[in-house]
Amino acid sequence: MRASEHGRDNRQVVITGIGPITPIGNGAEALWDGVRRGVSAVGPIRAFDSSPFGARIAAEVEFEPLDFMNPKKAHRLDRFSQLALACSQMAIADSGLTAAEIERTGMGIYTGSALGGVAFAEEQHVAYMKGGLRAVSPMLALSVFGGASASNVAIEFGLSGPSVANANSCASGLIAIGEAARLIRSGEVDAMLAGGIEAPLAPLTFGAFALIRVLSTRNDDPGTASRPFDAGRDGFVMAEGGTMLVLEAEDHARARGATVYGRVLGYATTNDAHHMTAPRPDGSRAARAITAALDDAGLPPAEIGHVYAHASSTVLNDSTECRAIRLALGDHADDIEVSGTKGLHGHALGATGAIETAIGVLAMTNGHLPGTANLAEQDPACDMAVTPPGGRDAEIRSLLKNSFGFGGINASLVLGAA
């Protein structure tokens, strides 16, 4: 029976399953081990010949599709959908939900991806130019649209509930989680699968970002190329991967004896309405997203114990984000630390918000603030206390997670401890 039939609204939303495939580790335990190890996964690109580009580094995942699906299915799906299926499989297994419980709840899926299956389309275009239409995969039309991964997952696991795939740039994974949490809080469903998936490592796709000069060109020292808040940052490092989370109404999760990692307390999104690549300089619209997320959570700024920033390592974003945090948190901004982990796992575009949400709840579970890798000399324009490389032990009850994307898209999530 669905929650709406019980007439219950505004229920607590908890996270009961985590399914990450990331450059620093696959699975919840390995992901957290990667955070604590503090070693960057950035290196020279292996997926294609990057020699024509100024940026020649990325954070790639170790992923074998056949560990998660049979050869026939792996052949039918592109990397975008393969990653989604694998992350979803891990998240559902981690949650302990059975097929019968999934069917009974009418569970749905919300995903986010900046680029969807565009890398596969690029590969197939090369095949078309060489061999004509007969050389093109018959799965092309069913693979490139943003909803392909969510649809493949829904079919695989019988997710008959609401299904939405958004493409809100680098904020899309966080937006998928926030919107899925809204459905549960409103009583429409008892459980949702939500997160972000990205498979962008293909020549033209990568080159498009190199062309607009947003990527780091620190090719001679890949491990230190992504350096959030550092005075020497020169752009982000592209990554691939994904994370799916199982979200449930707390009463539903407790009734079945599920392990709870953390809570989704509040969420909001705004738009800078300013520029396609540059954040609004005063940070006011990003600050409004933070304030609205706090209002949604029913928490004053003083209740936030840590800020897990978007911290993309781009010249404009990091300083503007600090400005937005100060606007939203006021004097409390002087009392807390900010961290960013993209120095370890790179920037997986639409998947990053979901990967970092998983890290955030694991940080609260383990009582340790994630460190900001490669912070050698803090930029004075990023005028907040930043958690140093390696992080530090600390018990926190709630944290703020930000994700920002091209087009001025801002999203903020307030997470609480279990």
CATH of 266-417, one of 3.40.50.300, 3.40.50.720, 1.10.287.70, 3.40.47.10: 3.40.47.10
Where do the domains of the chain lie?
3-262, 266-417
> What residues contact residue 315 under an 8 Å CB cut-off, 6+ apart?
233, 234, 235
Residue 5 predicted with pLDDT over 70: no
Position 256 scores a pLDDT of: 96
Please check the confidence at residue 9 and state whether its pLDDT lies above 90. no
For the cut 60, the answer to whether the pLDDT of residue 44 exceeds it is yes
Closest to 318 in 3D by CA, of 250, 227, 200: 227
Residues with catalytic function? 170, 310, 347
- The reported pTM is 0.96
Mind listing the pLDDT tens digit for each residue in 129-167?
999 999 999 999 999 999 999 999 999 999 999 999 999
- Residue whose C-alpha is closest to residue 400's, from 351, 348, 346, 363: 363
Each residue's pLDDT tens digit, 19-41: 999 999 999 999 999 999 999 99
* Fold agreement (3-262, 266-417): yes
DSSP state of 378: B
Residue 7, pLDDT above cutoff 80:
no
Smallest CA-to-CA distance from 222 within 52, 41, 377, 61 is with: 41
pLDDT at 83 (0 to 100)? 98
Class of domain 3-262: alpha beta
Q: Residue 238's beta-bridge partner residues?
A: 347
